[in-house]
Structure 1
Amino acid sequence: MAGSVTCEPLFFQTHRSFIINYEHITNFDHMLVHLSNGQFTAYLTKRKYSAFKEPISFI
């Protein structure tokens, strides 16, 4: 459709073993990302931290 805006989920690979959806993040620090269901925590590598937190300000 012309003129319509679609909101696609934003995904990020925080670690070799984890790909997360920004819509499900509840909290994060320099090493871990906590997801909304409370059961999952994803590792966040040091070198990907700055690239990870950049889109958070737009959400």
Structure 2
Amino acid sequence: MSDWNVSADAVERYMRETSAMVGLSIAEEYIIGVKNYLQISLRMMAVLEVVPLSIGDDFGPVFRA
């Protein structure tokens, strides 16, 4: 498994730089929540990354309206 232990400072720097790059302003009162979500996303990605999948796998039901 890849090492996705990214420091909180690196996550915040990434969040601020990428949001500025796309013209998205994040209010200061939301910074902690957004940063926490990004850290959770990194942990989820690390778990999913180790699951071997092939194109023939059944990925589950698909909702069709």
User: Fold conserved (TM > 0.5)?
Assistant: no
Please give the TM-score of this superposition, normalised by the length of structure 1. 0.35
Q: Which has the higher contact order (CA 8 A, sep 6+)?
A: 2
Higher helix share: 2
Higher strand share: 1
Please give the TM-score of this superposition, normalised by the length of structure 2. 0.32
